[in-house]
Structure 1
């Protein structure tokens, strides 16, 4: 990795990386965290700092009984969201050895949104997108809130945008790799005069990464779930993150060019 410049970067317009999705945090209308813990699901709004203020979280209840339902394409209520997640994650189609990004025995929840595939459908259909880190597969659960049924399909090599939970985890892997993060740490220190120690010091966003024929170093990402990242200094510009991606499946940082 080359020595970093001593000035802030603008967002790169073309880095040689092939993204399946733009640099966004939200994959659907609502993005959920990795697992259901203590009856609620924590949903990060944004990763890292927003100027001087770090993001908060919302909580969605775990709902096991059918709640009052809106019209087919109304925005989801909190209870509908919780019920859709319950049906999607408890369905028999979810593998018994499923794991999330941190190794928890639960599917990684990527997004939850009202289905738009059939606008004439009279029932309340919700698309819940999960990821299984054990098999490296994306699982689409078409949840019928009206009937309680689930239609499931799974694919390898399909990479929806990362959830905030995955972006946070990717940042932790990156920062813990002293060699991989050295240049970014040096650039941050040169700009701010302080050491980079926490995601709360930056605005962090991430997009899924798939290698193309011109990419050197990211071959594993053809199957593994990999994230490319942008780091913004609050009130300023962007640090140079073009030389690496984080392989969430292997828990490693990969140098690319």
Structure 2
């Protein structure tokens, strides 16, 4: 299959439509100088265990309600179950098919994921804007069209594929730099692994040991995680984090499983160059 249209959008919110606008948000949380076990207030749109949004305080002694299972409690991208026509919710089968169609193009296979492997990092799938019922695409108004988002670490860019599930084709490819939707499951895990191994993760490791009465923190699997993207175009940062936005950067909310939150919100993981920096 070949793309029927291809465009390049610079860093601006409007270019990617509703799907990306829904996904973009900032941090807006108070931070501390070191990792300490305290109550954490999550940003309203922080991605969580079920990739839903959440708001309000999360007590240090109580975890958010468990929504999923697995070795690590991280954000998930599964689509809700629902109808398969019109504007009904996407099914998992539709999401899987849309991803498969979007990845048929060799251009995407030349991309890299968060681990440096071949192929882009999958982020999200959402229904596309309804077709223009008054223009030349009026006859396609009933088609089942979705937007599939990827991040290409090889070129540090966001890629959106508009897929027509009715015809099984990619209608359009858009790329952008400087736009940072919420991190995926794999990105959240990778960020946590980098933080745990880094010198700036010393406070997190020490607080985990204290909270677990002597256990050593060695893996993201030992934590419940929530992540938000960090973009210096929207938030101030020291020079060492000046490329965040151009690079893919993540802030983490970390919690001991069945235990307290550990505040690491003053630390930022640059997934593009695999480094950790401090906001304050």
Secondary structure of 2:181's counterpart equals coil
**5+ long unaligned stretches in structure 1:** 15-20, 30-44, 61-68
Partner of 2:98: 84
Shift of 1:104: 0.8
- TM-score, length basis structure 2: 0.68
Superposed CA deviations along residues 174-226 of structure 1, whole A, max 9, x for unmatched, are 1122x111111111112221221222222111111112563224211030000
Name the CA shift for 1:208/1:2 in 2 (closer, same or farther; >3 Å): closer
Q: CA separation in 2, counterparts of 1:141 and 1:253?
A: 31
- Matched position secondary structure for 1:220: coil
Indicate conservation of the 8 Å contact 2:128/2:145, yes or no. yes
In the alignment, structure 1 residue 112 sits paired with structure 2 residue 125 = yes
Q: Are the counterparts in 2 of residues 4 and 183 from structure 1 also a CA contact under 8 Å? A: yes
- Counterparts of 1:183-222 in structure 2 under 5 Å? 183-193=203-213, 194-211=215-232, 212=234, 214-216=236-238, 217-222=240-245
Which is further off, 211-220 or 198-207?
Answer: 211-220
Q: Distance in 2 between matches of 1:73 and 1:132?
A: 29
SS at match of 1:232: strand
Q: Secondary structure at the match of 2:176?
A: strand
1:40 aligned partner: none
Pairs aligned (count): 221
**Counterparts in 2 of 1:253 and 1:203: CA distance versus 1, 3 Å:** same
- Residue 250 of structure 2: aligned partner: 227
1:126 matched to 2:155: no
What TM-score does the superposition give when structure 1 sets the normalisation length? Answer: 0.74
Structure 1 residue 103 and structure 2 residue 126: aligned? no
Aligned-residue Cα RMSD (Å) equals: 3.3
The within-5 A match list for 1:15-26 is: 22-25=45-48
Whole-angstrom CA distance in 2 between matches of 1:113 and 1:91: 20
Report what 2:40 is aligned to. Answer: 11
Higher strand share: 1
Are the counterparts in 1 of residues 46 and 228 from structure 2 also a CA contact under 8 Å?
Answer: yes
Is 1:142 aligned with 2:186?
A: no
Deviations 1:124-158 (A, max 9, x none): 00110011111111011110011222211100001
Supply the distance in 2 between the matched residues of 1:145 and 1:213 (Cα, whole angstroms): 38
2:263 to 236, 240, 245: 240
Partner of 1:70: 84
Task: Show CA shifts across 1:110-136 (max 9, x none).
Answer: 011222455973110011001111111
